[in-house]
Amino acid sequence: MADEIFEDDIYTLTDEEGNENKFELQGSLELDGVTYLALMPIDETDDEFVILKVTTDDDGEEILITIDDDDEFDRIADIFQDELFGNIDYDEDEEPDEEEI
């Protein structure tokens, strides 16, 4: 369901405390007329991504906001997880456990 995968799109986001952080766009998804973006922090080594919703402000400018509804967030996170990371075999270099043989 992820519409596009981007490689070189970098977003600089400012948090509530005024700190700027850079994120790389991993993918976008449109569902029920709403666009969501999956962004990976550039400066961190973990595999957790941030999901933001695209909306417009009072001036008609596109802005990114957090998803406050837990059910909506979980649904979108599951879709991104399946689409972006579902095909990665994290254990491909490991020997199989005796239980798996």
Residue-level pLDDT at 31: 92
Cα–Cα dist 82/73, whole Å: 14
Cα–Cα dist 95/89, whole Å: 13
C-alpha triplet 73, 45, 52: angle, nearest 5°: 25
> What phi and psi, each to the nearest 5 degrees, are found at residue 35?
-100, 135
Q: Which helix (H) or strand (E) holds 27?
A: strand 20-31
10 strand-pairing partners: 24
Residue-level pLDDT at 14: 85
Cα–Cα dist 83/26, whole Å: 10
35-85 per-position pLDDT tens digit? 999 999 998 777 788 999 999 999 999 999 999 999 999 999 999 988 876
Say what the pTM is: 0.71
Cα–Cα dist 39/24, whole Å: 5
Nearest to 16 by CA among 61, 53, 66, 62: 66
